Copies of this chain bind each other. A is one copy, B any other.
Amino acid sequence: MARTSGSHAAKTAPRIRAAAIRLFARHGYAAVSMRQIAGEVGVQVGALYNHTADKQSLLLELMEGHLTDLLAACDRADSPDGPVAALEAFVRFHIRYHAERPDEVFIAYMELRNLTPENFARVQTLRRRYEDRLESILRAGIAAGAFRLADARIGTLAIIGMLTGINTWFRAKGRLSLADIEAIYCDMIRQSVGA
């Protein structure tokens, strides 16, 4: 959103994004009205349009923001030498990062069909770049003979699916802590690629 000069501008825009994330994650993009978002922020509907062109742009902004942040964080994270260590580091990074942002994650993979075709393509490009981080690790492991895995691309999709699913059922008050789950997933994934 373009920087504006008024009083609350610097605060309203992020509050709109925060409210939209919460509401879209809870009820779904199509089921949430601009009035509901405005209500959460504490402004009237018309005011929203000072900060976003329309509802679709708001959705795109949330998804692109999430995926851009994810890629940046992934690049900042440690990536140890050796395919097995790198795989474990990726798994732990993914689980922790996603557990901290359940709403953004939920939106980024549930609301794809509510994007216009052009916006969908932009989001898919970012998502693919993230998947490629994992795929590179798997390829390296296969090349080095460290992994027993028939196809790096399918392996990538399988592991990402497994990891992403956590967000659909994990609850902090559940039987196991996130650290427990992280450990179990690390073991399963390491075994799954034959490391």
Q: Contact residues of A with B, CB < 8 Å? A: 26-31, 110, 113-114, 148-151, 153-155, 157-166, 168-169, 175-176, 181, 183-185, 187-189, 191-194
Q: Which residue of B lies closest to A170 (CB)?
A: B157
* Structural contact, B113 and A149, CB atoms closer than 8 A: no
Q: Which residue of B lies closest to A150 (CB)?
A: B184
Q: How far is the CA of A27 from the CA of B115 in the complex (A)?
A: 10
Q: Which residue of B lies closest to A106 (CB)?
A: B113
Residues in B whose Cβ lies below 8 Å from that of A187: 149-150
* Structural contact, B27 and A113, CB atoms closer than 8 A: yes
19 pairs from A and B in contact (CB 8 Å cutoff) = A27-B113, A28-B28, A28-B29, A28-B114, A110-B110, A153-B175, A154-B181, A158-B162, A158-B185, A158-B188, A159-B162, A161-B161, A161-B165, A162-B165, A164-B165, A165-B165, A189-B192, A191-B192, A192-B192
Q: Which of B28, B150, B163 contacts A113 (CB 8 A)?
A: B28
* Structural contact, B151 and A158, CB atoms closer than 8 A: no
A189 to chain B, nearest CB (A): 7
Q: How far is the CA of A110 from the CA of B106 in the complex (A)?
A: 10
Residues in B whose Cβ lies below 8 Å from that of A159: 162
Q: Which residue of B lies closest to A161 (CB)?
A: B165
* Structural contact, B154 and A114, CB atoms closer than 8 A: no
Residues in B whose Cβ lies below 8 Å from that of A165: 157-158, 160-162, 164-165
Q: Which residue of B lies closest to A31 (CB)?
A: B30
A158 to chain B, nearest CB (A): 5
